[in-house]
Amino acid sequence: MAMDESVRKAVLGAVPSLRAFAISLCGNVDRADDLVQETLLRALANIDSFQPGTNMSAWLFTILRNHFRSEYRKRRREVEDSDGHHAESLKSQPDQYGHVEFREFREALAQLPSDQREALILVGASGFSYEEAAGICGCAVGTIKSRVNRARTRLAELLHVNSAEDFGPDETTRAVLASGGE
Amino acid sequence: MEAATTRNKRLNAKPAKLGRDVQARLGQQLRAMYDDVVNQGVPDRFSDLIERLEGTGKKDPQ
């Protein structure tokens, strides 16, 4: 396929963010990278359907998200067949982001319903507008807004934060404080 | 559709409003986690893949 240099650059430029999104969706780096690879293959096979001048990143995110949704549904059926073995292996992947200090946050994020999590990530981390996120998820702008709001509220509950001070000291300090208090 | 809208409104009205500071901190943590991956750049696997696909394309007779 003959690829325009600007198209190639735009596709490559979207890869880091696509990976971050994919990891947040499936919680596993290896699976996320497979998901990104499958997304790129699909995108390049259908590059003619990309409208020049529109947002390449949003287009790729849409492909990745749809592919994940259909794969995930399929895999969930497989999991039910194989006694939850697959689900167990997904859960036992600690520290995929590589930083211990994010552990609590990541665990809380993983507990959100998937539609709330993806809306929060798209708007709060990937930097898409509510309109773009609605396009990627194939739903109304108002739906995205309410999902993002609910995601934030639920995260705050899970992390037990009511004010910014509650984010407080890091885990080591907290452990020291806790042992000192006994 | 109208029933769904009403239901959504009711669900939205329920959670207590988060303070701006809490929202800001949640946003910071979310972005820090995300950017951690973004900052890893493009793994060779993907630049190689695109190069390979382009290579095969060039060989294709038009």
Under an 8 A CB cutoff, do B42 and A36 touch?
A: no
Under an 8 A CB cutoff, do A105 and B15 touch?
A: no
Residue A18 pLDDT: 97
Residue B6 within a domain: no
Buried b (16+ CB within 10 A) or exposed e, A33-50: bebbebbbeebbeebeeb
CA dist A151 and A162 (Å) reads 15
10 Å CB burial of residue A169 (0-12, 13-18, 19+) is: exposed
| Containing structural domain, residue B50 | 18-56
Tally of domains in chain B: 1
Instruction: Decide: A153 and A145 in contact? Cβ < 8 Å.
Output: no
More confident residue, A110 or A87: A110
Which residues belong to CATH 1.10.10.10 in chain A?
A: 98-182
Residue B5 pLDDT: 54
The stretch A25-30 carries a mean pLDDT of: 87
User: CATH number of the domain at A98-182, please?
Assistant: 1.10.10.10
Tell me the CATH architecture of domain A1-93: Orthogonal Bundle (1.10)
pLDDT value at A83 more than 50: no
The stretch A80-92 carries a mean pLDDT of: 43
Residue B51 pLDDT: 87
A125: nearest CB among B34, B39, B46: B34
The stretch A28-48 carries a mean pLDDT of: 93
Residue B23 within a domain: yes
Name chain A contacts of B2, Cβ cutoff 8 Å: none
The model's pLDDT over B49-58, given as tens digits with 9 standing for 90+, comes to 988 887 665 4
pLDDT value at A170 more than 70: no
Residue B13 within a domain: no
Residue B12 within a domain: no
The alpha-carbon gap from B57 to the nearest alpha carbon of chain A, in Å, equals 4
Residue B44 within a domain: yes
Token pair, residue A179, equals: 């042992």
Buried b (16+ CB within 10 A) or exposed e, B30-56: bbebbeebbeeebeeebeebbeebeee
Place of tokens 């979207």: A14
Under an 8 A CB cutoff, do A164 and B43 touch?
A: no
Place of tokens 């999902």: A147
The stretch A49-73 carries a mean pLDDT of: 91
More confident residue, A117 or A99: A117
Which residues belong to CATH 1.10.1740.10 in chain A?
A: 1-93
pTM of the model: 0.74
Instruction: Decide: A159 and A104 in contact? Cβ < 8 Å.
Output: yes
CA dist A59 and A65 (Å) reads 10
Residue A14 pLDDT: 96
The stretch B4-15 carries a mean pLDDT of: 49
Token pair, residue A40, equals: 């790129």
The stretch A5-12 carries a mean pLDDT of: 89
More confident residue, A115 or A5: A115
pLDDT value at A68 more than 70: yes
Confidence of residue B23 (pLDDT cuts 50, 70, 90): confident
The stretch A161-173 carries a mean pLDDT of: 57
**Helical segments of chain A, H only:** 5-26, 29-45, 56-81, 85-91, 103-110, 114-124, 130-137, 141-158, 171-180
